[in-house]
Chains A and B, each alone.
Chain A
């Protein structure tokens, strides 16, 4: 699946997007896989309460299932308007 990062999440990880092969059943499991990779991922995902997630461009929570999902995006709380 495609994993996208925005704002300071993108800056900490150093990538705007990447393709990830995963068997994770939920967003939370995917986050744990990513955190285990490298320090920069650990730094980005250290505090989930500071993050939001969208699945196929819809806001969801971290317990949402990943089955059938093509695009996951992680970002801080939004500051539009």
Chain B
């Protein structure tokens, strides 16, 4: 398991390739990457992501451990960035390896659902008009109920 919290960009292709390479016992590798999305109305200058150093790594590793308890998984990778990101930049990625695809897909979705509302990150949208903290959505909290 590898959990990385960093300010710098990451190379999604290289990370996915390195993760998938040498997985001889694993029939499935699922990768997901999250991208900074412009506002529906356009005009997003940047997304600023704040986090809680110290807790972030532990919280993500805890979620990944739970995923490994629940599904038959090989390796798990989570990379999450913080700092100032422009629209189109990649915020984070998750990769899961499993003998069979159902476990790999479900574990990746579980990780994403929990990272959204249980990993200590806070997003702020910067536009020409000012800055606004992104509010957590009820549906993100509700998404945890299915697990």
Which residues on A are within 8 Å of B, measured CB to CB? 4, 6-8, 54, 57-59, 73, 75-81
Expressed in whole angstroms, the minimum distance between the Cβ of A45 and any Cβ of chain B is 16
B116 contacts chain A at the CB level, 8 A cutoff: yes
Chain A hits for B50, CB < 8 A? 6-7
The residues in B between 65 and 111 inclusive whose CB is less than 8 angstroms from any CB of A are 80, 91-92
Cβ–Cβ < 8 Å partners of B119 in chain A: 78, 80-81
Residue pairs across A and B with Cβ atoms less than 8 A apart, 14 shown, are A73-B52, A75-B120, A76-B133, A76-B136, A77-B117, A77-B135, A78-B116, A78-B117, A78-B136, A79-B136, A80-B115, A80-B117, A81-B112, A81-B119
**CB-contacts of B112-128 with A (<8 A):** 112, 115-124
The 8 Å CB contact of B122, one of A6, A54, A58, is A6
Chain B interface helix/strand/loop/mixed:
mixed
The 4 nearest A-B residue pairs measured at CB = A77-B136, A80-B121, A7-B122, A81-B116
Number of A-B residue pairs having CB atoms within 8 Å of each other in the complex:
69
Q: Chain A's nearest CB lies how many Å from the CB of B113?
A: 8
CB contacts (< 8 Å) of A76 on chain B: these are 122, 133, 135-136
Q: How many residues of B contact A (CB 8 A)?
A: 26
A54 with B136, Cβ < 8 A, contacts A81-B34, A81-B115 known: no
Q: Other CB < 8 Å A-B pairs besides A6-B50, A54-B55, 20 of them?
A: A7-B133, A8-B133, A54-B52, A54-B120, A57-B54, A57-B55, A57-B58, A57-B59, A58-B55, A73-B52, A76-B122, A76-B133, A78-B119, A78-B121, A79-B121, A79-B123, A79-B135, A80-B118, A80-B120, A81-B92
CA distance A58 to B59 in the complex (A): 8
With CB as the reference atom, state the residue of chain A lying closest to B60.
A80
Question: Chain B residues near A75 (CB, 8 Å)?
Answer: 52, 120, 122
The answer to whether B142 has its CB under 8 Å from any CB of chain A is: no
Complexed CA–CA distance, A76 and B133 (Å): 10
Chain A residues near B54 (CB-CB < 8 A): 57
